[in-house]
Amino acid sequence: MARRMPGRSLVLGAVLLLTAAGCGSGGNDGSGGGGGGGKELTVWLAVDARESWPTLVASANSRFTKEHPGVKVDVQYQQWTTKNQKLDAVLAGRNVPDVVEMGNSETTNYIVNDAFAPLDPKGFDHSGQWLPALTDACRHDGRTYCVPYYAGARVGIYRTDYFRQANITRAPRTYPELTSALDRLKEEFGSKDPRFSAFYMPGRYWYAAMAFVKDAGGEMAAEKDGRWHGALSARKSIDGLTAWKKLLDDYYEGDRAKDNSDQPAVVGQGKVGVFYGNTWEAQAATDPRSGGDPGLKGKFATFAFPGPSGKLLPPFLGGSTLAVPAKSANKDLAADWMRVFTDRKSQRQMIAANTLPNNTVQLADVAADGVNGPAAQAATRGWVTPLAPGWTSVEKSNILPEMLERIASGKASVRDAAREADRRIDDVINER
C-alpha cells in the first residue's frame, strides 16, 4: 500500500496555551511496575500503521498487555489531513489521548507550547543511536519530548528499461555519472518526444530543492542570539539553489508552477527517465489508485542520489515520532507502551514492512539490494526543517514553493527570489 510520508506541519491553535503537567519519563499515573488494573490506554496512530504494518501493532499490544495485565490498549487511527486539528481540539480539554503520532516536522510548535510531557530517553532501545534528524525534532532545552518511530528518505528512482535502451549500464554513483546518464536519456528519448523529461523536477518541489541547499552547506534558516532568521540568500544557499535550477533547466520538461503532489501519476504516464522521491512512489507509479500504470511493474529501481558536492544528496528525513500529551492521566503506561512499540524487535518488523528504522544501528539490517537499501544509505545524511517555533507558519505561507516557482520560471533571479523569501521568513519564523 503506497503511503505518504509526513512532512507538512499544521498550525497549533491558540487552545494550546497550556501548563505542562508531570515530569520525568512520563509523570506519575500510579500504575506501579507491572500492573494497570482496568486502565485503558488511548493511542493515536496515523493510518499508515493499519495499512502497512498491522502485525507490528498487534504484536506490540500483545507484549505490552502481558507486562501490564488488565490494561486495555485502544488504538485509534487518524488521517494525516485532520489529525492535528483533532489534537488541538482535545488538548483544550481534559480527555486526551495518552500517545500521539506526530510527523517529525510537526513537533516543535507543540513542544514549545508545553503540549507534551518530557521523557527519559534511557528507557528506550538504541536511544543513543536514534537518527539525528529525528532526535533533534524531539529535543528542546536539553530535554526529550518524543521518541523517534520510523523514517523515510528520498532517493533517485529510474526506469530500468529506459536505462537499458540508452545503454546506461548501472545506476549513477556520482554527480557526473548522473548528468551523463541524463544526457543519454535526453538524447535517446527527448529528441523523439519533446514532452519527455530525462529528470522530473516540478518547480515547487521544495523538499528536493532544499536538499541541494543542504548539499552546498546552506540553510533555510538559522538561529542567532535567540532569534531565527531566513538564510536562503546566504552564499552557500544560493550555490545550492543555483545547482538545483541548472538541473531543472537541463533535463526537466513540464510545468514549472507544479509541485510534486501528483508525481507518481505523472511518472506513470511513461515520459520520465529519473525522478527524486520516496521509495513508495516507485510502487505508486504502477498503481491505478495513484494514477499509475500497472504495465510499469518491475520497471523501476532506486539509487542513492549523488549531490554536486561529491557526497550523497542530503534528503529530508520524513518520518514520525511518538509523544505523550502533558495532560495524559497515564503517562508512565504511555511511555512504556512507546518503549515496546519502538524497541529493536518492533523495528525489525518495521524493516520487514519496507520502512526505515529509527536508529543507525538497524539501518545496517536493511537489505542493500532491496528497494529501501539506497534510502538507508541516504538516511545518515538526513535533515529536518528548522526547529523554530514559527516554522509551521513558514510552511503554511507557502514561502518556499513560491520562491522556487519564481526561480524556476525565470520571473526572478536566484538571489532576488531568495532575499524576498528571507524577508517573508523573518516575519513569521519566531511566532509561537
Q: What is the DSSP string of 217-236?
A: T--SEEEETTEEEE-TTSHH
Domain assignment present for 4: no
Shared domain for 164 and 247, answered yes or no, is yes
The confidence score (pLDDT) of residue 318 equals 87
The most distant pair of C-alpha atoms in the chain lies apart, rounded to whole Å, by: 71
Give the structural domain span for 166: 155-315+388-428
Shared domain for 41 and 142, answered yes or no, is yes
Q: Which of 266, 249, 271, 294 is closest to 414 using CA atoms?
A: 249
Shared domain for 145 and 160, answered yes or no, is no
Shared domain for 67 and 80, answered yes or no, is yes
Instruction: Look at the alpha carbons of 62, 66, 67, 68 in this order and tell me if their dihedral is positive or negative.
Output: positive
Shared domain for 81 and 107, answered yes or no, is yes
The confidence score (pLDDT) of residue 105 equals 85
What CATH number corresponds to the domain at position 37?
Answer: 3.40.190.10
* DSSP H or E stretch at residue 180: helix 175-185
Shared domain for 212 and 322, answered yes or no, is no
Shared domain for 19 and 98, answered yes or no, is yes
Shared domain for 51 and 168, answered yes or no, is no
Domain count, the chain: 2
Domain assignment present for 279: yes
Give the contacts of 93 (CB within 8 A, at least 6 positions apart). Answer: none
The confidence score (pLDDT) of residue 29 equals 42
* DSSP H or E stretch at residue 330: none
The confidence score (pLDDT) of residue 23 equals 34
For residue 147, the cross-strand partners are 322
Shared domain for 197 and 161, answered yes or no, is yes
**At which of 379, 400, 419 does a domain end?**
379
Domain assignment present for 3: no
The confidence score (pLDDT) of residue 2 equals 36
The confidence score (pLDDT) of residue 145 equals 98
The confidence score (pLDDT) of residue 38 equals 67
Domain assignment present for 283: yes
Q: Distance of CA 298 to CAs 164, 187, 291, 295, Å? A: 14, 24, 17, 9
* DSSP class per residue in 207-274: HHHHHHHHHTT--SEEEETTEEEE-TTSHHHHHHHHHHHHHHHHH--S-TT--STTHHHHHTTT-EEE
Domain assignment present for 199: yes
Q: Distance of CA 309 to CAs 35, 171, 175, 248, Å? A: 54, 18, 8, 17
Contact by Cβ (8 Å): 106, 134: no
Domain assignment present for 8: no
Question: Which residue type occupies 114?
Answer: D
How far apart (Å, rounded) are the C-alpha atoms in residues 351 and 243? 34
Q: What is the pLDDT along the chain (432 residues), one digit of tens a residue?
A: 334 444 333 334 333 333 333 333 333 343 334 445 569 999 999 999 999 999 999 999 999 999 999 999 999 999 999 999 999 999 999 899 999 999 988 898 899 999 999 999 999 999 999 999 899 999 999 999 999 999 999 999 999 999 999 999 999 999 999 999 999 999 999 999 999 999 999 999 999 999 999 999 999 999 999 999 999 999 999 999 999 999 999 999 999 999 999 999 999 999 999 999 999 999 999 999 999 999 999 999 999 999 999 999 999 998 999 999 999 999 999 999 999 999 999 999 999 999 999 999 999 999 999 889 999 999 989 999 999 999 989 999 999 999 999 999 999 999 999 999 999 999 999 988
Shared domain for 171 and 300, answered yes or no, is yes
Shared domain for 236 and 252, answered yes or no, is yes
For residue 140, the cross-strand partners are 143
